[in-house]
Amino acid sequence: MEFFKIRKDIPFMRHALIFNAISFITFALAVFFLFSRGLHLSVEFTGGTVMEVAYTQAPDVEKLRTTVAGLGFADVQVQNFGTSRDVMIRLPAQKGVSTAQQSDKVMLALKTADPQVVLRRTEFVGPQVGEELAHDGLKALGMVVLGIMVYLAFRFEWKYAVAAIIANLHDVVIILGFFAFFQWEFSLSVLAAVLAVLGYSVNESVVIFDRIRENFRRYRKMDTVQIIDNAITSTISRTIITHASTLIMVLSMLLFGGATLFYFALALTIGILFGIYSSVFVAAAIAMWLGIKREDLAKAGVKKEEDPNDPNAGATV
């Protein structure tokens, strides 16, 4: 499906060096902020108190969040779970304050606003649990990266695998850099968004690489730069349709999903925008600089030279 067709190939690779220099500077800044400021980890990673309360009528979650934050608790998480009448409250650990003291203080404030509120459950999430979650998260990230590399190496060739994984890690580090610079809260939902971006970004790279492979087999007289430019140009319509549709959904969550989905949707938005950029200007350019050539992918057999704008292109001799 195409909304439009570009008749003349856009010379993307002519500007590859400039765009990759910008990309490298952005990546370096993200790494710098990660090391200098670090991530602002949520209760799941740092430990704290988790409370579950129930109301007879659906409460105003924003009002509850303001009430609990007014008690002196920083980085409070208040969200619905199960039904609109059930609320989960996560409080960060405080030095010298027990879980019971924290929950009593919160319940006193909640009962002042609504005497019928009921405490269902309260428990302490220790730092060791958060450490285990962080370890498991890094392990999941590593397994995803390894799986993508193996998949691309088998489907295409090792140069494509290296190019795609560098582009994908570029997206991930930049997302983390944004969260470090602005000190946005990094929770398990944000980690899930980062893993989703890895899969989403590699999909775009695979589409472009697949078209590059097809072009190598189809156009015998084109050089590598022309092949890549044609591959990217011919997939632009598909890229716009796919990413615009995805962004509409993600921006809906960002604008209307409330505090619970805000950072999850924000991480996805940043990842999608940089994923488009990295697939075109990072992955394709690195593959070009690694020296991809027709012999890496083309099967044996002679095919006629075809006009890239010929709708009947692809016939064999």
For 46-84, the pLDDT digits (tens) are: 778 888 999 988 898 888 888 888 888 877 888 887 788
Same domain, 96 and 219: no
CATH code at position 81? 3.30.70.3400
- Asked if residue 111 has pLDDT above 50, the reply is yes
d(CA 296, CA 245): 34
Same domain, 193 and 73: no
Which segments within 93-191 are labelled E, that is strand?
A: 118-125, 185-186
d(CA 44, CA 189): 10
Mean pLDDT computed over 128-133: 67
- Asked if residue 307 has pLDDT above 70, the reply is no
Please report whether residue 80 resides in a domain.
Answer: yes
290 burial (CB, 10 Å; 0-12 / 13-18 / 19+) is: middle
Same domain, 91 and 210: no
Same domain, 30 and 56: no
The side-by-side arrangement of strands in the sheet containing 48-54 is: 77-81, 83-92, 48-54, 118-125
Under the banding of pLDDT at 50, 70 and 90, the label for residue 299 is very low
Dihedral of CA atoms 117, 119, 124, 130 in degrees, nearest 10, equals -60
Please report whether residue 16 resides in a domain.
Answer: yes
Under the banding of pLDDT at 50, 70 and 90, the label for residue 310 is low
Domain end residue (candidates: 125, 147, 171): 125
Total domains in the fold of the chain: 2
Same domain, 238 and 168: yes
pLDDT score of 301: 42
Q: Which residue range is the domain that position 22 belongs to?
A: 12-39+130-297
- Asked if residue 11 has pLDDT above 50, the reply is yes
Mean pLDDT computed over 167-175: 89
Domain end residue (candidates: 87, 104, 125): 125
Please report whether residue 314 resides in a domain.
Answer: no
CATH code at position 35? 1.20.1640.10
Same domain, 169 and 24: yes
Average pLDDT, the chain: 83
Tell me how far CA of residue 8 lies from CA of 11, 121, 224, in angstroms: 9, 64, 17
pLDDT score of 217: 85
Tell me how far CA of residue 151 lies from CA of 71, 144, 209, 215, 298, in angstroms: 51, 10, 13, 21, 19
H or E element that contains 196: helix 188-218
Please report whether residue 308 resides in a domain.
Answer: no
Same domain, 34 and 162: yes
Domain end residue (candidates: 99, 125, 151): 125
